[in-house]
Amino acid sequence: MRNINSTAVVMLALLVAMTAACAQETRPSGELRTEEVAPPIDELLTTEFDERGRTRGPEVSGVLPPGFPADLPLYVPSSIVDLGDSGGGWRYVTIFAPDPEHRVSAQMKRQVGQAGWSSDDGLSWGNGARSVRLHFDDAAAGTEVRIEYRPQG
């Protein structure tokens, strides 16, 4: 038993010595230099020709879908964060504005009215044969506005 323990200790010592020797051999000598062989990949990327990357105006980011009422004002500043099908021929666009719900709601309702849309309740709006519905939700860092509309042909 004593021979087995002595052998194990000697083997362990050899293993440690060999590991240390290998580690020293693989270390580079001198100072390391980095050489640029090509420009960084992100330097070559651009959104110049990306239709989805274009903005509606100077302070609204995102691209509105085809059929969205072009004369319906959006809150500024805001970002288009979602869009889809509401069912029954209705579509929706959700925008996020970084301001409180009461400010976004008041300003947007005023601007929509000034753009020629009329409403009885401030939520459903009409302009000729077109109609939209506005839903304002208080979000953690601002307001989400869901705009439901019937696409224009």
> Residues 81-140: pLDDT tens digits?
999 999 999 999 999 999 999 999 999 999 999 999 999 999 999 999 999 999 999 998
What is residue 48's DSSP assignment? Answer: T
Label each residue of 92-145 as H, E or C.
Answer: EEEEEECCCHHHHHHHHHHHHHHCCCEECCCCEEEECCEEEEEEEEEECCEEEE
Question: How many domains in the chain?
Answer: 1
pLDDT band per the 50, 70, 90 thresholds, residue 57: low
Burial class (CB in 10 A: 0-12, 13-18, 19+), 125: buried
Q: Give the global pTM.
A: 0.63
Tokens coding 90? 């209705």
User: b/e per residue, 84-117, with b = 16+ CB within 10 A?
Assistant: eeeeeeebbbbbbbebebeebbeebbeebeeeeb
Tokens coding 147? 């705009």
Cβ(93)–Cβ(65) below 8 Å? yes
Tally of residues, the chain: 153
What confidence score (pLDDT) does residue 140 get? 85
Cβ(71)–Cβ(85) below 8 Å? no
Range of the domain at 136: 1-153
